[in-house]
A and B are shown apart, each in its own frame.
Chain A
């Protein structure tokens, strides 16, 4: 048995993410540039377009079309949509269905025990959604209001002047494996703006680089979980929202599963595991495959069809991992990029939207008061977020996820006491290390053999993500140092999309398989922005 310490093998963040360069002559000038067309970025754009229609607003999105890189469970709290569209009735929102019943189970390998629903996990009044559908719908609303939406244009780097962020450079398209231009080569484009809003989602590279550069820390480092999700067409409808704890995860891992009804003949099913797990062989994709064979789920899925598969990380650090500053000169962070996720209630979408709306309000005020120099006056956004429901909710549950760092049983007891005391127990802050600092124990493992009926290999899974990235794309993954066979095995299990394989004692990398979940960016090879439209093409996630 050996030990892998992920941080020892990790490459540093590429220095090219921050460029102190004059924008090119052909640069596009905007007032506000939003990096990332998810719920946070689009809510921000919609609010901006409504309150200041004269502003030039652009949204860069790395997916080929809006929503194709968006993934969540998801049960959504509708309050943010209602606040953003006060004139629309709930029936116009792209919900799948209202939550009519819910159940939480503790699972063992052979059985399951229904347990009381923890107060944080009650979903009365909430709705199941496909985040892809929600994002597409938000995109239509934004476009109708005159927002420029640029799908297929990932941001490659921040353009800076002194300490100020002045814009973004996009990724070049049409390069071959050796980064030589092909006949469909697309030059990078520079975009400049008075304010750049980073809405990159989970583990955004530009936000990481900006925080490193400006030394914006947080009380605890951000920690992450990896979720793997499938959407199934099923013969019989599911009548309730299901959450589970326990098996197939080991006792020393934090996580659980969900199964949500998505209308009469579809369900969303998935498994989430905190990336501070201890077993180097833990494999979230394979664990989800095994879980589907459990009596709790097998009957539901039998006779059904796997429609789509996807994976994504989730920022789980909560209150103490929120960056000390959410804005700087010419720049702000919203949504998952700012870590605005409440793990005990499994909610982030409405917080993401609300943070985008608060950012929009602060931008409009700053630009009205200070004109072109408004980018230096964005601190009102920090205050607004700190005083909002977002941070209020996250404060109540501030130590709850952190209580599980030493194991499941103690975590449940502590989380219960925290619920009763509204976060006052145990007082203070539970300190966390970054996920990559947690050592992983290696041991021989038994390979998983899919049945191709209910369970599938990673190769088949990637096909079901819609990923059709061309094989000749340059690698966007930066592998670190001293990669032994054990480390290669660890990456192979960590990555749900089969990007990494152990061959002998070396690591083989298949970059086109990548679905941008960012798990290895947390624990291993770095993810950098690649050609627009690459990666998954989710329709139902």
Chain B
């Protein structure tokens, strides 16, 4: 069982975001970065599958500037065996990033290639499916259950009003959703072991692609809430406001 996990680094979801000069990217000064939370489900799935199989290799791959190495080390500390840093600047065009990742994964002998279902910063939701297409592999997105038996994968996806089950032959590409598992935290032993695990750096050139970011703006600030009053006495005034001001009743 050989599994690749493709990883993105994203700002901590509680970080205060400031738009950088130029208006097309965020100012990274002082911002804490973490592994993309959805990618953590993919990492956990890879580690757990290898543990269950008792053999195999898990590899984490990330594309980007050198700052991504810290994120890769977190994955190693969680239990991934080996890291690959595709050193280069990612494009705003998801297809170009998918090409760089697919070029690396292709020929690697992977049974599974796992992604998070989306990155919480840009909500692109493209890369996993595009890599599958470029590798001509079957793909299921946003999976919440994954089982491997006899060279086939069974996955579940939460669809409107129910659960969809699908199966396909390996190798395959899946993107992972919340609910798939509970990602483990790095252990002390894991952090120490991570320092000694193989860590490859491979320079890549990513084409600019067809898409550019024209502008990036923060959502408008929400007005402060109002406290109408406390207890039963405030209910009539609240009802009045819900009808006349908020117009929700």
Contact = CB atoms under 8 A, between A and B. Distances in A.
Interface of A: 26, 28, 58, 65, 133, 146, 148-150, 152-153, 170, 173, 183-184, 186, 189, 191, 307, 452, 466, 468, 537, 539-540
Interface in B174-205: 182, 185-189, 191-192, 195
What are the 5 tightest A-B residue pairs by CB atom distance, in nearest-first order? Answer: A189-B188, A539-B30, A148-B192, A183-B182, A150-B188
| Residue of B16, B185, B188 contacting most chain A CB atoms (<10 Å) | B188
A144 to B, nearest CB: 11
Contact of A150 (B14, B16, B31, B191): B191
Given A148-B195, A150-B191, A186-B187, A537 B14 contact: yes
Interface string B220-243: 000010000000000000000000
B104 interface: no
A189 B195 contact: no
A174 to B, nearest CB: 8
A184 B186 CA distance: 12
A186 B192 contact: no
Contacts of A149: 191
A539 B15 CA distance: 9
B188 A153 contact: yes
B82 to A, nearest CB: 20
Given A133-B30, A152-B185, A466 B14 contact: yes
Q: Is the interface of B mostly helix, strand, loop or mixed?
A: loop
Interface in B15-58: 16, 30-32
Given A148-B195, A307-B16, A173 B185 contact: yes
Nearest to A533: B185
How large, as a class, is the contact surface on chain B? 10 to 19
Nearest to B184: A184
Contacts of B182: 183-184
B32 A28 contact: no
Contact of B191 (A148, A173, A537): A148
Nearest to B77: A150
A229 B189 CA distance: 36
Nearest to B188: A189
A540 to B, nearest CB: 7
Given A150-B191, A466-B14, A539-B30, 8 more contacts: A28-B188, A133-B30, A148-B195, A173-B185, A183-B182, A189-B189, A191-B188, A537-B32
Contacts of B31: 539
A152 B184 CA distance: 13
5 contacts: A153-B188, A170-B188, A183-B182, A466-B14, A539-B32
Contacts of A539: 30-32
A149 B188 CA distance: 9
Contacts of B191: 148-150
A32 B189 CA distance: 16
A28 B189 contact: yes
